[in-house]
Amino acid sequence: MKRLNKAFYTFRWRLFNACIRRRFAAFGAGSRIYPRPILLKGEKYIHIGKDVTVGEQVQLTAWDQFCEQRFAPTIVIGDGSSIGTGAHITAINRIEIGKNVLTGKYILITDNSHGDADAALLETAPDKRPLVSKGPVIIEDNVWIGEKASILPGVHVGRGAIIGAGAVVTKDVPAGHIALGVPAQIKKIPSIHE
């Protein structure tokens, strides 16, 4: 019975990926999205490299239109990266995730928000406020993003950096540094020779 269940799950996974791969701007060989994503939007703006794994219940959204606004979004996920279960990656501008990036579960990577901190907008329902971006999010190669971390608009995360579990990253993280806390504090990762 277990073998039959596994065979059915594998068949369903392969069929799902065969059906959706054509909807993406790019979908590299060996890449897979588990069959139960909560939301895929704007796949034609999403580039998935080779050997990428996208876990279950992930939201990948590239918004080209919201209310009367128009955008030119791009999401790039580099070769060998693994996006954990429940991740939410959303763009109206640009999100670039480098090669071999590993994320924990329930992370948020966003280049946008519903409105600025403007008193005039407070009388407007949050889901009716205009979307704004403070800039793209760039995550370089070999970055490790811990569970429930958030990376907010305009942030650049350098090569090999670590984003601690639960961190809220609001400013750039240089290569070889770690971001911990809310808001995240940045510290150099010590060398094993130090």
Tell me the domain boundaries of the chain.
2-188
Q: What is the pLDDT of residue 72?
A: 97
Q: What is the mean pLDDT of the chain?
A: 91
Here the contacts of 61-69 (C-beta below 8 Å, separation 24 or greater) are 61/88, 61/89, 61/90, 61/91, 62/90, 62/91, 62/92, 63/90, 63/91, 63/92, 63/112, 63/131, 66/92, 66/130, 66/131, 67/128, 67/130, 69/130, 69/131
**Homologous superfamily of domain range 2-188:** Hexapeptide repeat proteins (2.160.10.10)
pLDDT band at 62 (very low <50, low <70, confident <90, very high): very high
pLDDT band at 55 (very low <50, low <70, confident <90, very high): very high
The catalytic position among 88, 114, 156, 177 is 88
Instruction: Fill in the DSSP letter of residue 125.
Output: -
Do residues 104 and 146 touch, judged by C-beta distance below 8 A? yes
Q: What is the pLDDT of residue 153?
A: 97
39-71 core/surface letters (b: 16 or more CB in 10 A; e: else): ebebbebbbbbebbbbbebbebbbbeebeeeeb
114 is catalytic: no
CA distances from 40 to 49, 83, 158 (A): 17, 14, 27
Q: What is the pLDDT of residue 121?
A: 72
| C-alpha angle 94-27-25 in degrees, rounded to nearest 5 | 50
Q: What is the pLDDT of residue 181?
A: 96
The percent of residues in the chain predicted with pLDDT above 90, rounded, is 73
pLDDT band at 8 (very low <50, low <70, confident <90, very high): low
Rounded Cα distance, 93 and 90, in Å = 9
